[in-house]
Amino acid sequence: MTGIFRFDVLSLDGAARAGLITTPRGKIRTPAFMPVGTVATVKAMHPETVKALGADILLANTYHLMLRPGPERIAALGGLHKFMNWPWPVLTDSGGFQVMSLAKLRKLDENGVTFQSHIDGARHVLTPERAMEVQDLLGADIAMQFDECVRLPCAEVEARRAMLLSLRWAERSKTAFVAMPGRAVFGIVQGGAAESLRVESAKALADMRFDGYALGGLAVGEPRTVMLAMIECVLPWLPHAKPRYLMGAGTPDDILEAVRRGIDMFDCVLPTRAGRHGLAYTRSGRLNLRNAHHADDPSPVDPLSSCAAARTYSRAYLHHLVKAGEILGMMLLTEINLAYYQDFMDDMRRAIAAGSFDDFCDAAKEAWRSGEAGNGLV
């Protein structure tokens, strides 16, 4: 594969920016929302449907694909893109989140992390070098450094230990990264909820000259005000000409405020997980289709959606599918939610280009307040 990886900022409105990431497998419009395909599938969705809804890039996970079906097997079958029938860009999370989420099943030291598989109990060692090797075997367009993510709140001394370890792992990850035309590797800023640690991490990573930079260890239990404060303190220290990625944060209001502060990329399981549990995201707020008052409602979920399912299926029918536990209900609501997220990103890009982002934010929040939830999409 030949080509380049390039990021261009096309429009600015305050700190908010609209841009374009160019890769050999396609262009990624930013701000971008990446649907999560942890184990090489976006749950309940066909890949071509995900693309048709507006997604330019998917996220897959190094740890989970390492366990099953295995990166060597995927490589032998032609790589992740061919394996999952998604010929467009893929970003792979390195497994750092699992260092936190599977804390009871792992042992951590300077070299890396030894996991006990949650599938069969087998032991697997993930080091910065192995994480980069797995991502190379998968054929990731954007690979992430291996890092240690800590759950918040945590003591500052613990956040500092993990941040410094992540910096040492960042150097090892970048050294082990298999540089090929068009592929990129991102560093991950850590530091818990301490501004001084976040700034120290960002400065050190900027000196390592990664292709892009992520903020990790946020949206993991801390108050929203803390997350936004960490974004504000970090972004001035990251290169303006490189993409900025907020990992795992995914409510529409969180995305809106992060874009306002200069973030370019997002991922979250929220729209797909919510769809499987009877929740729909719309321009007028969040709908809980499990609620009984939808049982006799013939109106569509969202008549303004780009998604035909949101315009043509009644709330009564979707309520019935959810209550009956039918797979079709999960599929339709997942599609509706992913369409909402992609419409939302497109609307933000247009507003930034038009210089009307603040007005867009005010209008979006007012529309959310008018909906069933009554308190926005937080």
Q: Which residues are catalytic?
A: 93, 267
Q: Show the 3-state SS of the chain.
A: CCCCCEEEEEEEECCEEEEEEEECCEEEEECEEECECCCCCCCCCCHHHHHHCCCCCEEEEHHHHHHCCCHHHHHHCCCHHHHCCCCCCEEEECCHHHHHHCHHHEEECCCCEEEECCCCCCEEEECHHHHHHHHHHHCCCEEECCCCCCCCCCCHHHHHHHHHHHHHHHHHHHHHCCCCCCCEEEEEECCCCCHHHHHHHHHHHHHHCCCEEEECCCCCCCCHHHHHHHHHHHHHHCCCCCCEEECCCCCHHHHHHHHHHCCCEEECCHHHHHHHCCEEEECCEEEECCCHHHCCCCCECCCCCCCHHHHHCEHHHHHHHHHHCCHHHHHHHHHHHHHHHHHHHHHHHHHHHHCCHHHHHHHHHHHHHCCCCCECEC
